[in-house]
Amino acid sequence: MSELKRKPLRLGVAGLGTVGVGVVNIVENSGDMLSTRAGQRIVVSAVSARDRGRDRGIDLSAYGWHDNAVDLAGDDSVDLVVELMGGSDGPAYALAKACLAAGKPFVTANKALIATHGKELAALAEASKTALRFEAAVAGGLPVVKALMEGLTANKINELYGILNRTCNYILTRMEREKLAFDDVLSEAQKIGYAEADPTFDIDGIDTAHKTAILAAIAFGIAPDLGNLPTEGIRNIAPVDIDYARELGYRIKLLGVARQTGEGVEVRVHPAMVPLSSPLASVMDATNAVLITGDQVGQTGYEGPGAGQGPTASSVIADVVDVARGICYPPLGVPVNDLKKLPYLGSESHIGTYYIRLRVTDVPGVMAEITQSLAAETVSIESMLQRGHAEGGGVYIVLTTHETTEQSAIAALSHFNALDCVLESPAMLRIETA
């Protein structure tokens, strides 16, 4: 082993929340194992956080402290920076640019940063011939970034589906198992720490959109692009929809979907009904999962904890070890200059099948009005259910469609909203065959 390799790889850790503390703990407690696997001793030399006096349950006195995280980029005692502060801009963005411009390897778990500035940061890393790694930014402890970058590199990726947010999957699981309303489960999720006090980032699909943008970029050789990623969350999922989904042979999941066709790429986030026979249907509670389909390997699946101290810190350390081993490839899988500019297909052009729930007056002639509205947009019915009286009056009519464009399905909803017999805005969910 060379003299250079015998020197330790010294980490600067920016952000000492749950994951940051987890990273420090792994380095402190598993040093011998990491040294053997990395071929180089790995140590923490400096840290940064907003509150120096906070009790984090670990002794940080041996490490240099920076009140300004960006100072880690210029600290000669730091060889590699691990960023765990979060946020697409502000200190995290400034630190990333400073490190990469200086040729200092940068490892992050920050999905918002990579989804928003991934192309720019990748270009900086390539120009300075240094590493930018972000395995922990997507699906916590699941090595899906590495799978796309390395294990599946011989494949043209056709599509991927992801359950990428533990809060949403936990809420949907509890709603189904215990027949609870969305607001009740959300309140409980906040109490046990599965949801933030302001849950918008999770339940409105923003977190999933960041992760989906990253996966789509690596899968298809394009730049991350949040601007072309239609996003819906789970706020409007009602227990009645979960019950009807089960009766029809489906389960509702919040999905990140990315698909490549001859016409371009389709990237979107929304709740969807997946068949009970799908591997995704069995992913319950706070678990994440990703299904990836390649032209050579077919479909592969990855399932496990998508967040938490141990799983996320594990992925961070995996990136650190790769840097120690000298593994340095283009951050987005291909050089920035080779990224493709594929057209994004609008959601309105998506062809699929749909679930539609209507609450209508229980009078003769209603079905004729419904079928006429569908026929006006050339949408045909595959199946239909009507079960008793609905809460609030009237009855529910639930139907699934044959394949149609999303534009036609949405236009049919507009017709429904104009009917006097329809008592509330219709609910619509996409049906995915993942």
Q: Give the burial string for 336-366 (b: 16+ CB within 10 Å, else e).
A: beebeeeebbebeebeebbbbbbbbeeeeeb
Catalytic status, residue 104: no
Helix, strand, coil percentages, rounded to 5, for the chain: 40, 25, 35
Tell me if 108 sits within 8 A of 84, measured CB to CB.
yes
Q: Which of 104, 111, 119, 211 is catalytic?
A: 211
CA dihedral 272, 278, 284, 289 (to 10 degrees): -90
Distance CA 321, CA 30 (A): 12
- Alpha carbon 244 to its chain centroid, in Å, reads 26
Q: Report which of 100, 169, 174, 116 is spatially closest to residue 140, judged by C-alpha positions.
A: 169
CA angle 413, 418, 421 (to 5 degrees): 100
Residue 334 and residue 221: Cα distance in Å, rounded? 7
281-318 b/e (C-beta count within 10 Å ≥ 16 → b): bebbebbbbbbbbbeeeeebebbbbbbbbebbbbbbbb
> Is the separation of the CB atoms in 78 and 61 below 8 Å?
no
Q: Which two tokens stand for residue 27?
A: 């380095």
Tokens (6 digits) for 339? 């990224």
With beta carbons less than 8 A apart as the criterion, state whether 182 and 227 touch. no
Neighbours of 223 (CB within 10 A): 16
Which two tokens mark 107?
């490892």
95, 13 contact by CB (below 8 A): no
Report whether 220 contacts 340 (CB < 8 A).
Answer: yes
d(CA 276, CA 274): 6
Is-contact 45 106, C-beta < 8 A?
A: no
Distances (CA, A) of 395 to 88, 103, 139: 46, 65, 40
CA distances from 123 to 118, 128, 131, 325 (A): 9, 9, 11, 22
Q: Residues with catalytic annotation? A: 211
